[in-house]
Structures are given as C-alpha cells and as structure tokens.
Amino acid sequence: MGGVTLNHFLVLGLLLFLLGSYCVLTRRNAIGILMGVELILNSANINYVAFAYFGGGRYDGQVFAIFVIMLAAAEAVIGLAVVLGIYQNFKTIDVGAAETLRG
C-alpha cells in the first residue's frame, strides 16, 4: 500500500486513544464520558484491523474487531440506560452529583 506503513495506523490509533482518554478524564457529563469510551474502543479496533492487514491475510484481528464492536453496542445500551436512570433520580447527569449509592 504505497508509503503507508503499519506505524501510520498505530499512531492514528494512538492519537485517537489519547483524545478519548482526555474526554474520559475531564468530562463531568456522563454521556460525554461514554463518548470518550467509544473513541477509545475505535482506536483499539484500528489497531486490530491494521495488525490483521499487515500480519498477512489471517482473519483473527478482524474477528476480534467485530467482537469489540458488539461489546461496544452492549456497553452503549447499558451505559445510556444507567445514565437516564441517574437523570430520573438526580435530575442531573453530572457524575459528581451521583456519588451516593443510596439511589
């Protein structure tokens, strides 16, 4: 593939991971944190597919990327259901406000 090497894709995934980490670390909005998690999962998937391509024709990396996408869907469903439950109880989705476990 021309001059595009494995390292190009690894650095792309790395930068995406760092942006997602920043999002998770600094956001106080629970939905914003979930968006950061989606960025991190996407960066991991880029690495899986890049290794599958440059590792020579095996499908293991792509199969695991599909498993990660499936788990991301389950995570988004449960996470957003929890966030909406928090919103119904506390009238806010600031994660600092929902630190009590009493519900």
Partner 1 sequence: MLAEVIFYLLAALTLGSAMIVAFSRNIIYSAFALLGTFMGVVGVYLLLAADFVAMVQLLIYVGGILVLTIFAVMLTAGIADVTVSNRAVGGVPAIITIGIVGLVMVFAVYRTPWHQASEVTVDPTTYGIGNAFLSEYVLPFEVASLVLLASLIGALVISRREAKD
Residues 77-96 that bind partner 1 (CB under 8 A): 77-78, 80-85, 87, 92-94
Nearer CB in complex with partner 1: 29/99: 29
Residue of 56, 101, 102, 103 that binds partner 1 (CB under 8 A): 56
- Per residue, the 3-state secondary structure of 29-88, as one string, reads EHHHHHHHHHHHHHHHHHHHHHHHHHCCCCCHHHHHHHHHHHHHHHHHHHHHHHHHHHHH
Contact code string over 1-40 relative to partner 1, x by CB under 8 A: xxxx-xxxxxxx-xxxxxxxxxx-xxxxx-xx-xxx-xx-
Min dist. Cβ of residue 21 to partner 1 (A): 5
Does the protein bind partner 1 through residue 44 (CB under 8 A)?
A: no
| CB-CB contact of 46 with 16 (8 Å) | yes
Nearer CB in complex with partner 1: 91/100: 91
The CA–CA distances, whole Å, from 41 to 8, 24, 48 equal 18, 12, 11
